[in-house]
């Protein structure tokens, strides 16, 4: 597993706080960071110069935004936006761009909310449209679940990934989200080798121990992301020993 520090949007917007956070991350022993897409190439370059790779890039919430429109436009421009940005993400060393498909994405007056079944189909179609550019770039997509009342079970996410059938698509488990609707251990046991990114958030000591054991059982070796102060994040991540990916 790889220890990754999440840097929030506000920190990324200020050059001073960004530089200070990078220095603190290095001092705490992190080698990689999770950044918002808005950080952009300049901020990423500063991190790379310090030896911090942006292993995870958080793309915009509701990227897929599955909804119907009176004007039949699909895939959405935001999907094309990610595809056009793959170059700088790959050049910066980014391995995963995480997206949060949303059932009720915001829309204008010409937008109509899709049914749940239609939203699931449209999400599949949008991700399929990304498959070729993703496979060409070497960047992976980490699909988050339990956002905006959508993808509410590990079975749904497992089946979605299996239908796409590409090594460039994986599950990104935001444990704070999935814990609100189910058991994180069940998500881990169901998704298994399909997990490409894990984000911690507010777990107790006992829960962290159980999660670490479950990830070891499914041979997970990817990034484990933790936010907050770097020193505190390091203490949480001590349960997740660093080891090379298979």
> What is the tens place of the pLDDT at every residue in 102-115?
765 544 444 566 67
Are 38 and 9 within 8 A, CB to CB? yes
Of 52, 48, 83, 77, the residue nearest 65 (C-alpha) = 77
Are 114 and 68 within 8 A, CB to CB? yes
> What is the tens place of the pLDDT at every residue in 5-15?
998 888 888 88
User: What is the per-residue DSSP string for 220-232?
Assistant: --SEEEE-S-HHH
pLDDT of 230 higher than 50: yes
What tokens appear for 173 in the block?
């488990």
pLDDT of 198 higher than 90: yes
What whole-number percentage of the chain has pLDDT above 90? 28
What tokens appear for 47 in the block?
């991190």
Are 164 and 131 within 8 A, CB to CB? yes
Question: Which of 9-23, 50-64, 83-97, 144-158 has the lowest average pLDDT?
Answer: 50-64
> What is the predicted pLDDT for the residue at 160?
95
User: What is the per-residue DSSP string for 89-116?
Assistant: HHHTT--EEEEE--TT----TTEEEPPH
Q: Beta strand pairing status for 111-113 and 67-69?
A: antiparallel
What does the pLDDT average to over 129-148?
Answer: 85
Query: What band does 209 get if pLDDT is binned at 50, 70 and 90?
Result: very high
Domains and CATH numbers, the chain: 2-237 (3.20.20.150)
Instruction: Scan for tokens 């597993």, then name that residue.
Output: 1
């Amino acid at each position: 597993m790889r220890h990754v520090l999440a840097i929030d949007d506000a920190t990324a917007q200020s050059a001073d706080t960004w530089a200070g956070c990078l220095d603190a991350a290095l001092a705490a022993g992190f080698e990689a960071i999770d950044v918002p897409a808005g950080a952009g190439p300049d901020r990423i370059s500063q991190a790379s110069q310090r030896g911090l790779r942006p292993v995870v890039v958080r793309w915009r919430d509701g990227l897929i935004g599955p909804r119907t429109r009176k004007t039949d436009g699909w895939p959405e421009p935001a999907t094309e936006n990610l595809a056009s940005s793959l170059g700088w993400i790959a050049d910066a060393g980014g391995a995963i761009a995480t997206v949060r498909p949303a059932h009720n994405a915001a829309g204008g007056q010409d937008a109509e909310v899709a049914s749940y079944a239609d939203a699931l189909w449209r999400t599949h179609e949008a991700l399929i449209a990304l498959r070729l550019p993703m496979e060409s770039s070497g960047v992976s997509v980490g699909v988050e679940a339990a956002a905006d009342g959508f993808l509410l079970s590990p079975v749904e996410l497992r089946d979605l990934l299996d239908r796409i059938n590409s090594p460039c698509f994986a599950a990104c488990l935001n444990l704070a989200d999935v814990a609100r609707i189910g058991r994180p251990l069940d998500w881990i046991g169901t998704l298994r080798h399909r997990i490409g990114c894990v984000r911690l958030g507010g777990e107790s000591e006992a829960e962290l121990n159980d999660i670490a054991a479950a990830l070891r059982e499914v041979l997970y070796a990817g990034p484990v992301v933790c936010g907050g102060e770097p020193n505190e994040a390091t203490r949480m991540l001590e349960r997740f020993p660093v080891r090379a990916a298979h």
